[in-house]
Amino acid sequence: MDTLHFVQQPRPLPEGFLATLRQRFGERCSTAQPVRDHHGRDESPYPAMLPDVVVFAQSVDEVAWVARHCNDHGIALIPYGAGSSLEGHLLAVQGGVCLDLSGMNKILNVHAEDFTATVQAGVTRKQLNESLRETGLFFPIDPGADASLGGMSATRASGTNAVRYGTMRENVMSLKVVTADGRIIETANRARKSSSGYDLTRLFVGSEGTLGIIVEVTVRLYPQPEAVSAAVCNFPDLDSAVRSVIQIIQMGVPIARVEFMDVGAVRATNRYSHLTLRESPLLLFEFHGSPAGVREQAELVQQITGDLGGQDFDWAERPEDRNRLWTARHNAYFAGVQLRPGCRASTTDVCVPISRLAECVGETARELDAAPFPYTIVGHVGDGNFHVLMLLDPDSDAEWNESERLNHRLVERAIAMEGTCTGEHGVGLHKQVFMQAEHGADALDVMRALKTALDPRNTLNPGKMLPPSVA
């Protein structure tokens, strides 16, 4: 499939359907071109694929009503959170209804004594943490973008804290989900463990809106650390930086964050965020714990990195200095795009076992060095996950084709190393072609059976996740 020139194939809306939506939702039902255009784009390199209509939901019952009516008429229904997806998850490949959940943004309960919070799907991670400021707790999953908790659950998001706190998979305790035919189900209770029934929570986490619409999320919370310290360490080459991470992890140092940036990413970050980081491969660390524990962790990491060629191990202990560094890291995508003004960005990620990380990153960089376009590599390398950003001429099919060839090579390499085609971006449209190579035909048959059982009319985010030969 030519993924760049993917052709939208909308299903026609039945007569009277729009009138029914307008009668139910009034001004919260829009067919205006700017509204549809906004909801038909994400951060992927794909052209816009607009829905026929956008509905702004404000309650679980409204979501159920829309799902039921779309299912009855066989109309595509695409859940929409913050619009920050990178792999075409929210594009309306069959037209239909885009269901915007951003207005469902209430924090319903914070059970501080149980370290849990229950929120509506439209609550963003920054909003949740701001509300937790006085409780001494925080929610650690930090994908960079201020994504919604519903979207983060649907894509099984991760981020810079995953090496210590895990991903959404480990931190979602329960979900409220609207099924394709409009039923409302709870996947679990707030108990920290259960042996009762199938694990529906894990089924819907990472399902990308193809099995049900997540409307409420109960997540784990953590105590805010007593002390936090950050450090930057430069390296003479990419290999020594990545091997330092492997050794730190294998020695069991409980670092909270460890991020890798290649030379291109550092250069872009300096320009975009007005920093003066040394322009060589670097690692950015953060340590959480008691003051003594943080100091002990940092000293051990400094020793390990020094043994492997690390230089300029610089501390950032003041909150404003740490925030400036991490804000710059989170803006690495936008910084990279500025390296080639007017470009189209294609970004991809893989994840491999930590023992194969240096090999995978090194081989990838060597292939990218021969590419006809600029690139950057950044990574949450503490858990074997890294990202490649390729900056393409929007008018050059040759550059797009070469970027896709390199993406295929990268994914094939990762899968051969017993890794995955995506560590945190998700499948969406862009990674479908790799699903059989990673999972095998029999596993895809099981996924197909699940999709058919839960969404027999294929109304929920159709065309995503499973490759065309399966879905």
Other beta carbons less than 10 A from residue 414's beta carbon: 26
CA 364 to chain centre: 21
Whether residue 234 contacts residue 278, with contact meaning beta carbons closer than 8 Å, is answered with yes
Task: Answer yes or no: are the C-beta atoms of 380 and 160 closer than 8 Å.
Answer: yes
Res. 6: pLDDT tops 80: no
Beta-ladder partners of 345: 391
Confidence of residue 316 (pLDDT cuts 50, 70, 90): confident
Classify 7 as helix, strand or coil: coil
- Rounded Cα distance between 460 and 68, Å, is 11
Which has more confidence, 47 or 56?
56
DSSP code of 157? -
Query: What domains can you pick out in the chain, each with its CATH number?
Result: 107-223 (3.30.465.10), 225-429 (3.40.462.10)
State the pLDDT at residue 42: 87
User: For residue range 385-427, what is the model confidence (pLDDT) as tens digits?
Assistant: 999 999 999 999 999 999 999 999 999 999 999 999 999 999 9
pLDDT at 457: 96
Which string of DSSP letters, residue by residue, matches 21-48? HHHHHGGGEE--HHHHHHHT--SSSSPP
Distance in angstroms (rounded) separating the CA atoms of residues 398 and 158: 32
Asked if residue 442 lies in contact with residue 435, where contact means CB atoms within 8 angstroms, the answer is no
- CA torsion 337→342→346→347, rounded to 10°? 10
State how far the Cα of 214 lies from the Cα of 60, in Å rounded to an integer: 10
Task: Tell if the pTM clears 0.85, that is, is over it.
Answer: yes
Burial 420-453 (b: 16+ CB within 10 A, else e): bbbbbbbbbbbbbbbbeebbeeeebeebeeebee
CA distances from 33 to 50, 54, 259, 301 (A): 9, 10, 40, 53
Q: Over 60: is that where the pLDDT of 471 sits?
A: no
**7 pLDDT exceeds 80?**
no
d(CA 390, CA 408): 13
Structure-token match 């109309």, residue found: 75
Helical pair 397-416 and 357-368, crossing angle rounded to 10 deg = 160
| Cα 108 to Cα 407: distance, rounded to the nearest angstrom | 41
E strand segments, 32-106: 53-56, 77-80, 97-100
| Distant-in-sequence, close-in-space partners of 276: CB < 8 Å, separation ≥ 6 | 270
- Specify the pairing of strand 53-56 against strand 29-30: antiparallel
State the pLDDT confidence band at 324, using cuts at 50, 70 and 90. confident
Mean pLDDT, range 248-265, rounded to an integer:
92
In the predicted model, what is the mean pLDDT of the chain?
A: 93
DSSP element (H, E) containing 175: strand 172-178
Q: Which two tokens stand for residue 379?
A: 């990574």
- Answer whether 105's CB lies under 8 Å from 127's CB: yes
What Å distances lie between residue 363 and 310, 346, 376, CA to CA? Answer: 21, 19, 14
| Mean local confidence (pLDDT), 145-150 | 91
For residue 412, how far is the Cα from the chain centroid?
A: 21
Say if residues 85 and 428 touch (Cβ distance below 8 Å): yes
State the DSSP H helix or E strand holding residue 315, giving kind and residue range, or none if neither.
strand 311-316
Q: How many CB atoms lie within 10 A of CB 261?
A: 28
Does position 380 have pLDDT exceeding 50, yes or no? yes
Q: Which of 80-89, 182-191, 395-404 has the lowest mean pLDDT?
A: 80-89
State the pLDDT at residue 327: 87
Looking only at the bridges linking them, the beta strands covering 172-178 and 184-186 are antiparallel
CA distance 393 to 346: 11
Which of 126 and 10 is assigned the larger pLDDT? 126
Q: Which two tokens stand for residue 208?
A: 């990308």
pLDDT of residue 438: 97
Residues 345-377: pLDDT tens digits? Answer: 999 999 999 899 999 999 999 999 999 999 999
Collapsed DSSP state (helix, strand, coil) of residue 461: coil
Dihedral sign for Cα atoms in the order 215, 220, 224, 225: negative
**pLDDT value at position 143?**
85
Residue 89 sits at the vertex; the CA angle it makes with 76 and 73, to the nearest 5 degrees, is 5
In contact, 375 and 388? CB cutoff 8 Å: yes
